[in-house]
């Protein structure tokens, strides 16, 4: 298993600003993911954060808008840049510490972002 913490837990930001969300894991993990979850909806994968290389982004998400850092195997950041009200959402990081194909994911507590 893995214990994950995220900072901040919530924030209210003004349009046009940027927010960096931190994700810390209590053990070294290879696979780390960033998700977005709109209220009452399911999870949408933003990107996979790779240690030592650029993140892999899903369709509809770009590095300029959501730059990601992964400096080591226990830490990652996601920045939401030039925010608009449409970016209001819960942002979750998750890890898949297991071996093999049963990539059970563990999720952080989430960051609730409101953009005004």
Partner 1 sequence: GQNIDQPTEMTATEGAIVQINCTYQTSGFNGLFWYQQHAGEAPTFLSYNVLDGLEEKGRFSSFLSRSKGYSYLLLKELQMKDSASYLCAAMDSNYQLIWGAGTKLIIKP
Q: What does the binding site for partner 1 look like in residue numbers (CB under 8 A)?
A: 41-45, 92, 101-110
Least distance from partner 1 to the Cβ atom of residue 54, Å: 18
Q: Is the Cβ of residue 39 or residue 52 nearer to partner 1 in the bound state?
A: 39
Least distance from partner 1 to the Cβ atom of residue 56, Å: 10
Distance (Å, whole) CA 38 – CA 9: 16
CA distances (Å), origin 44, targets 4, 39, 48, 89 = 19, 12, 12, 11
Distance (Å, whole) CA 13 – CA 25: 26
Backbone torsion region of residue 84, taken as left when φ is above 0, otherwise alpha when ψ lies between -120 and 50, otherwise beta: beta
Q: Is the Cβ of residue 45 or residue 73 nearer to partner 1 in the bound state?
A: 45
Closest by Cα among 109, 90, 89 to 23: 109
Least distance from partner 1 to the Cβ atom of residue 98, Å: 10
Q: Is the Cβ of residue 16 or residue 109 nearer to partner 1 in the bound state?
A: 109
CB 63 within 8 A of CB 11: no
Q: Is the Cβ of residue 75 or residue 107 nearer to partner 1 in the bound state?
A: 107
Least distance from partner 1 to the Cβ atom of residue 104, Å: 5
């Amino acid at each position: 298993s893995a214990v994950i913490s995220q900072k901040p837990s919530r924030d209210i930001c003004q349009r046009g600003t940027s927010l960096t969300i931190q994700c810390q894991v209590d053990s070294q993990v290879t696979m780390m993911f960033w998700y977005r979850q709109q209220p009452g909806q399911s999870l949408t994968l933003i990107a996979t954060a790779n240690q030592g290389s650029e993140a892999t982004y899903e369709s509809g998400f770009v590095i300029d808008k959501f730059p990601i850092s992964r400096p080591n195997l226990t830490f990652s950041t996601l920045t939401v840049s030039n925010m608009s009200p449409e970016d209001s959402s819960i942002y979750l990081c998750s890890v898949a510490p297991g071996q093999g194909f049963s990539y059970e994911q563990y999720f952080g507590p989430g960051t609730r972002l409101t953009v005004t």
